[in-house]
Amino acid sequence: MRIYICVALFIIMWFLGGCSAPVKDVHIPDDTYIITGKIKLTNSKLVKSELYDQYSEWKGTRYRMGGLNKNGVDCSGFVYITFKYKFGITLPRSTEHMARLGINVTKGEWRAGDLVFFKTGISDKHVGVYIDNGQFLHASSSQGIIISKLNNQYWQSTYWKAKRI
C-alpha cells in the first residue's frame, strides 16, 4: 500500500512541478511521510550501526531552535535529518506531527529506530531515536547532539510515548 502512495505522490509532484522541479521544493503535508526504502527499520543491527554513525558525524553540534545543519539543529530537525539521510524516510519536520505517525510501542518494548517522545513543558515536546540498551540519540537543548539513558530521572519523569515507523 505504501509503495502505491509513494508512486502516486511522485507522479503528482512530477506533473505539478514540471520535469525540472527538484523534489525538495515540493511541499509535503505535515501528516504525511515518504519511504524510499534505503534501509528497512526491521534490521536492528544495521539501524543501530547507522544511528551510531550519525552520532559520530553530528557529535558536538549545538542545539539551535529551527536549525537543520551542523551549525545548529533542534530535536525534530535532527530526527528528520537522521531518518531522511540514514533510512530514506522523510518524516514531518515537527515533533507534534512525528508523534502522530506509526504505531505505539509499549515502554520497554523499544527497538533500534523507534521514536521516543517526551513532554518537557506545558506545551513543549521533545523527540529522540532509540538505539539500544535503554539509550537514545537526540539533540539536547543544553548539550547538543548526545546519547542519553532513558532511565535517567529527568527522561523517566518526562517520558510520553514511543512510536515505530
Confirm whether 138 is a catalytic residue. Answer: yes
Confirm whether 97 is a catalytic residue. Answer: no
Each residue's pLDDT tens digit, 6-31: 434 333 333 333 322 233 333 344 44
Regarding whether 24 and 52 lie in a shared domain, the answer is no
In the predicted structure, residue 63 carries a pLDDT above the cut 90: yes
Regarding whether 50 and 70 lie in a shared domain, the answer is yes
Regarding whether 136 and 108 lie in a shared domain, the answer is yes
What is the CATH classification number for the domain harbouring 84? 3.90.1720.10
Distance CA 46, CA 44 (A): 6
- Give how many domains the chain has, as a whole number: 2
Regarding whether 3 and 75 lie in a shared domain, the answer is no
Regarding whether 81 and 13 lie in a shared domain, the answer is no
Regarding whether 154 and 113 lie in a shared domain, the answer is yes
pLDDT of 40 reads: 60
Regarding whether 150 and 104 lie in a shared domain, the answer is yes
Q: How confident is residue 36, by pLDDT bands cut at 50, 70 and 90?
A: low
Regarding whether 136 and 158 lie in a shared domain, the answer is yes
Each residue's pLDDT tens digit, 95-123: 999 999 999 999 989 999 999 999 999 89
What residues contact residue 82 under an 8 Å CB cut-off, 6+ apart? Answer: 51, 54, 129, 137
Confirm whether 126 is a catalytic residue. Answer: yes
Q: How confident is residue 37, by pLDDT bands cut at 50, 70 and 90?
A: low
Catalytically annotated residue among 19, 27, 75, 97: 75
Catalytically annotated residue among 6, 27, 97, 138: 138
Regarding whether 54 and 8 lie in a shared domain, the answer is no
Structural domain of residue 78, as residue ranges? 39-164
Regarding whether 45 and 23 lie in a shared domain, the answer is no
Cβ–Cβ under 8 Å, residues 69 and 105: no
State pTM to two decimals: 0.77
